[in-house]
Structure 1
Amino acid sequence: MANNFKMVAKTLFGFEEILAKEIRKLGGGHVEMGVRNVSFEGDTGFMYKANLCLRTAIKILKPICSFTVRNENDLYKKIYAIDWPSYFEVDATFAVDATVNSENFKHSLFISQKTKDAIVDKFRAVVDRRPNVDIKFPDLRINIHIQGEQCNVSLDTSGSSLHHRGYRTATNIAPINEVLAAGLLLLSGWEGQCDFLDPMCGSGTFLAEAAMIACNIPANINRKQFAFEKWTDFDEELFQKIVEVSLNKTREFHHKIVGYDKAPSAVRKAQENIDNANLSEYITIERKNFFDTEKCNDGKLHMLFNPPYGERLRLDMETFYAELGDTLKQSYPGTDAWFITANLEALKHVGLRPSRKIKVFNGHLEARLVKYVMYEGSKKRKSVTNP
Structure 2
Amino acid sequence: MHHQFFATCPRGLEALLEAELKSLNARQIQPTDGGVGFAGDMLVCYRANLESRIATRILLQVGKGKYSNEDELYQGAYKIDWPQWFDVKQDFMVKVTGVKCPLKSLEFATLRIKDAVCDRFREAVGSRPYIDTREPQVRLHAYLAAEDYQLYLDTSGQPLYQRGLRRASIEAPLRENLAAGILKLSGWQPGTPLLDPMCGSGTFLLEAAMMSLDIAPGSGRGFGFERLKNFNSGAWQSLLKQAQSRAKPVTFQRLYGSDMDLRAVRISRQNLQEAGLLEAVQLAHTEFTAVVPPTPEGVLIANPPYGVRIGEDEDLAALYQKWAKH
TM-score by length of 1: 0.80
Which of the numbers 218, 230, 234 marks the counterpart of 2:227?
A: 230
Q: 2:23 aligns with which of 19, 22, 25?
A: 25
| Structure with the higher helix share, 1 or 2 | 2
* 2:322 alignment counterpart: 323
Residue 250 (1) aligns with residue 243 (2): no
Q: Which residue number in structure 1 is paired with residue 202 of structure 2?
A: 204
Q: Deviations over 1:271-303 (max 9, x none)?
A: 1111122111211211111211221223x2111
Is the partner of 1:133 in helix, strand or coil? coil
Deviation at 1:92, TM superposition (A): 2.1
Tell me what 2:84 maps to: 86
Moved beyond 6 Å, runs of 4+: none
Aligned to 1:334: none
The answer as to whether partners of 1:88 and 1:232 remain within 8 angstroms in 2 is yes
1:155-170 matches, cutoff 5 A: 155-170=153-168
Mark the CA change 1:14 to 1:305 in structure 2 (over 3 Å): closer, same or farther: same
Give the counterpart letter for 1:241 in structure 2: S
Alignment of 1:14-163 (within 5 A): 14-163=12-161
SS at match of 1:6: strand
Task: Provide the residue aligned with 2:5 in structure 1.
Answer: 7
Contact 1:61 1:155 in 2 (8 A): yes
Structure 1 equivalent of residue 292 of structure 2? 294
Q: 1:296 to 1:127 in 2, by over 3 A?
A: closer
Task: Give the structure with the higher percent strand.
Answer: 1
- Which whole-Å CA distance do the structure 1 matches of 2:101 and 2:21 have between them? 34
Cα deviation for residue 137 of structure 1 reads 2.6
Amino acid at match of 2:281: I
Whether contact under 8 Å (1:222, 1:277) holds in the other structure is: no
- Give the Å deviation of 1:30: 1.9
**Deviation for aligned residue 1:312:** 5.0
Counterpart Cα distance in 2 of 1:28 and 1:233 = 19
Asked if the contact 2:253–2:281 (Cα under 8 Å) also holds between the matched residues in 1, the reply is no
The structure, 1 or 2, with the larger RCO (C-alpha pairs under 8 Å, 6+ apart) is 2
- Aligned runs of 1:309-320 on 2, under 5 Å? 309-311=306-308, 313-315=310-312, 316-320=315-319
Conserved? CA contact 1:33–1:39, under 8 Å: yes
Contact 1:139 1:231 in 2 (8 A): no
Q: Is the Cα–Cα contact under 8 Å of residues 100 and 107 in structure 1 kept in the other structure?
A: no
For the residue of structure 2 that corresponds to 1:121, the secondary structure is helix
Secondary structure of residue in 1 paired with 2:239:
helix
**What is the deviation of 1:251?**
4.9
3-state SS of paired residue (1:305): coil
SS in 2 for 1:145: strand
Choose 1 or 2 for highest CA Rg. Answer: 1
Return the offset for 1:122: 1.6
- Which amino acid in 2 is paired with 1:178? E
Deviations 1:166-203 (A, max 9, x none): 11111112111111111111111122131111001010
Which structure 1 residue ranges, 5 or more long, are not aligned? 328-387
Give the Cα separation in 2 of the matches to 1:312 and 1:23.
36
C-alpha distance in 2 between matches for 1:275 and 1:220: 18
Q: What is the root-mean-square deviation of aligned Cα atoms in Å? A: 1.7
AA at the equivalent of 1:87:
W
Using the size of structure 2 for normalisation, the TM-score is 0.94
The separation in 2 between residues aligned to 1:109 and 1:275, in whole angstroms, is 43
Report the AA paired with residue 322 of structure 1: Q
TM-fit CA distance, 1:259: 0.5
Q: Kindly provide the amino acid, as one letter, of the partner of residue 314 in structure 1.
A: G
Judge conservation of contact 2:94–2:114 (CA < 8 Å) in 1: yes
**Corresponding residue of 1:377:** none
Is the Cα contact below 8 Å between 1:167 and 1:273 reproduced in 2?
A: yes
How far apart, CA to CA, are the structure 1 residues paired with 2:107 and 2:158?
A: 18
SS at 1:258 equivalent: strand
Contact 2:191–2:254 under 8 Å retained in 1: no
Q: Between the two proteins, what is the percent identity of the paired residues?
A: 34
